[in-house]
Structure 1
Amino acid sequence: MKNVFLAFTFLCSSYLIAQEGTNMKKVITPPELVRVAFEKEYPGKVPVWSEEYVGDDADEVRFEAKYNVTNSTKAVAIYDNLGNMKAYELQIPFSQLPPKTQAYLKKNYAPKEIREVAMVVDDKKNTTYEIGVIKNTKFYDVVFDKDGDFDVSIEKN
């Protein structure tokens, strides 16, 4: 009976680990053009690379380089397959958000609901602020423009 219980426990835990793994991005080695572009822009940084398919038919690939800027600050640089940077996301403290953004968040969310704060710059040099919040057990990206005005709230799965 003890062996049956151990086998059952092992099978259940293996299943849960496999399910968790399906939600994670696979760590990859990017094409040389992408790697060289990153190394030129961020010398000495050690990224963890993953890929994501985007576009209307998920026919475009994006390579994400996640790395530590400092011990407590993380960043993500996103490239296309030719090594062109498509976006840069930098984790920032709440205090570095525009005053309008801070006021909106304080009014609409409890401090414990705010999980991530980031500044995002796209390939056209447009800056936005993306705030990850959990409200009613759902995760949302709340997006603000460069001036701190509310833009959109997107529910994430």
Structure 2
Amino acid sequence: MKNVLFIAVFLCSSFLRAQEGTNMKRVIVPPEIVKLAFEKEYPGKTPVWSEEYVGDDNDEIRYEAKYDVNKTTKALAIYDNLGNLKAYEMQISLSQLPPKAQSYLKKNYPAKAIKEIAVVVDDKNKTTYEVGIEKDSRFYDVVFDKNGGFDVIIEKN
């Protein structure tokens, strides 16, 4: 179960870097059931779709819908091939992180190291916070639980 969460976190975190052109996923048209699920959940939003293969043998497909929540906020909704929402990620500001996470970041990283911040909700309604950090020319996701407690650091390629 923990592997599924880490995979979801990994997939979600890639959306922000894709906005910067560092992630070269091809744009696709998802199955109708996936498009309808997105349109029902986020009416009036125009997504850019991509796909990702996940699972132990890369045998599961996920459809990623990137879209603008408003002029300054981007989001990502991830669906399986049956149109079930698997995870949702939305950009947030540092001030929207739980105080415990803010304290951890201020204590351990300079402000300029923080490149992106997002709240992630998975299909089990579990909330985590991901903070993209650049340190020594490497990119990391620092993950916090819903209360802002430190969980894990994941190095990104």
TM-score (norm 1): 0.85
Give, in whole Å, the separation in 2 of the partners of 1:23 and 1:62.
Answer: 16
Q: CA offset at residue 22 of structure 1?
A: 9.5
Cα-to-partner distance string for 1:58-99 (whole Å, 9 max, x where unaligned): 000000000000100000000000000000001001100000
Q: Runs in 1 of length 4+ with deviation above 6 angstroms?
A: none
Q: Which residue of 2 aligns with 1:59?
A: 59
Give, in whole Å, the separation in 2 of the partners of 1:59 and 1:77.
Answer: 20
Give the secondary-structure state (helix, strand or coil) at the position aligned to 1:65.
strand
1:70 matched to 2:70? The reply is: yes
Q: Give ranges in structure 1 of 5+ residues lacking alignment.
A: 1-20
Partner amino acid, structure 2, of 1:156: K
Q: Which residue of 2 aligns with 1:122?
A: 122
Partner amino acid, structure 1, of 2:67: Y
1:105 matched to 2:111? The reply is: no
Q: Which residue of 1 aligns with 2:93?
A: 93
Give, in whole Å, the separation in 1 of the partners of 2:65 and 2:109.
Answer: 30
How many equivalent pairs are there?
A: 137
Give, in whole Å, the separation in 2 of the partners of 1:124 and 1:36.
Answer: 21
Partner amino acid, structure 1, of 2:97: L
Q: CA offset at residue 55 of structure 1?
A: 0.3
Q: Give ranges in structure 2 of 5+ residues lacking alignment.
A: 1-20
Give the secondary-structure state (helix, strand or coil) at the position aligned to 1:121.
strand
Q: CA offset at residue 23 of structure 1?
A: 4.7
Change (3 A) 1:59 1:147: same
Computing the radius of gyration from Cα coordinates, the structure with the larger value is 1
Give, in whole Å, the separation in 2 of the partners of 1:102 and 1:32.
Answer: 41
Give, in whole Å, the separation in 1 of the partners of 2:152 and 2:132.
Answer: 12
Q: Which residue of 1 aligns with 2:8?
A: none
Aligned sequence identity (%): 73
For CA contacts below 8 A with separation 6 or more, give which structure has more relative contact order: 2
RMSD value, Cα:
1.2
Q: Which residue of 1 aligns with 2:42?
A: 42
